[in-house]
């Protein structure tokens, strides 16, 4: 027994050294959950005790008219919470932490970007959005890399901008598009991820999505 200890210790030290040298990568469930005309919502689909640092994580979009944009997120998000990147015509200068006021008058943490960041959205365009990147942290001195990657694309197929990541098209969002509030609809319509039983559905498929009344900072209503 005694002569086995050094062997076990050697194995432990070797394992720790390997971790210290290379660390490990954890896939985190930061998802795009709602796309409006001038705002995009992301959601951490993890238990409430989890935290994800957002530095190193980017939201990007591209449309079939040739506009594209990319912004690094700031701050952090906790499990089951929401974070909205939104345009504000009164904001100038670089993107900054701010809070978004949703349709119901509630405040949602997020990032304000200058007006025009998401381009001019026109019916008939195709759009692609992706949240991706890596955030490094350490756990008991061992480096850990949090990695996120989520994509949604909609509008006519065949001209959806290539944006990387994994997204299985089935054409169900070919005619879906965020729409402004109208005379018979008090809320804008957003392209929204489904939340069956209150949990975000993510099979990397177009069928995870539908068009619903906007509900930034909360799950898509059933």
> What are the residues binding Ca ion (CB under 5 A)?
34, 41, 150, 202, 204, 215
**Alpha-carbon distances, residue 143 vs 25, 65, 79, 140, 171 (angstroms):** 9, 41, 21, 8, 41
Least separation in angstroms between residue 20's CB and Ca ion is 32
Considering the complex, state which of residue 138 and residue 204 has its C-beta at the smaller distance from Ca ion: 204
> 9: exposed, middle or buried (C-beta count within 10 Å: 0-12, 13-18, 19+)?
exposed
Measured from the CB of residue 219, what is the shortest distance to Ca ion in angstroms? 6
Nearer to Ca ion, 188 or 215 (CB): 215
C-beta of 118: minimal distance to Ca ion in Å? 16
Q: How far is the CB of 32 from Ca ion (least distance, A)?
A: 8
Select 19 or 37, whichever has its Cβ closest to Ca ion. Answer: 37
Of 115 and 204, the one with the shorter C-beta distance to Ca ion is 204
Q: Are 208 and 202 in contact (CB under 8 A)?
A: yes
Q: How far is the CB of 174 from Ca ion (least distance, A)?
A: 19
Longest dimension (CA), the chain: 82
Strands (E), 23-168: 24-27, 30-35, 39-44, 51-53, 57-63, 68-72, 76-78, 82-88, 96-101, 107-114, 127-139, 142-154
Hey, what are 190's tokens? 């957003």
Tokens 């002569």 identify what position?
3
> Cβ closer to Ca ion: 60 or 202?
202
């Amino acid at each position: 027994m005694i002569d086995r200890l050094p062997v076990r210790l050697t194995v432990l030290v070797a394992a720790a050294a390997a971790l210290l040298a290379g660390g490990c990568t954890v896939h985190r469930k930061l998802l795009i959950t709602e796309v409006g005309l001038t705002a995009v919502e992301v959601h951490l689909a993890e238990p409430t005790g989890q935290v994800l640092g957002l530095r190193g994580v980017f939201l990007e979009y591209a449309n079939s008219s040739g506009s594209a944009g990319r912004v690094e997120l700031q701050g952090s998000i906790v499990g089951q919470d929401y974070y909205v990147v939104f345009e504000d015509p009164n904001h100038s200068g670089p993107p900054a932490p701010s809070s978004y006021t949703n349709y119901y008058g509630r405040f949602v943490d997020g990032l304000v970007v200058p007006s025009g960041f998401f381009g001019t959205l026109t019916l008939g365009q195709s759009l692609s959005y992706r949240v991706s990147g890596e955030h490094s942290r350490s756990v008991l001195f061992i480096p850990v890399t949090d990695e996120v990657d989520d994509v949604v694309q909609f509008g006519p197929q065949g001209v959806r901008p290539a944006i990387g990541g994994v997204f299985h098209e089935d054409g169900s969002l070919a005619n879906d598009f965020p729409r402004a509030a109208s005379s018979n609809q008090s809320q804008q319509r957003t392209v929204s991820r489904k939340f069956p039983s209150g949990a975000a559905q993510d099979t990397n498929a177009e069928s995870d999505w539908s068009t619903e009344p906007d509900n930034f900072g909360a799950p898509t209503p059933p």
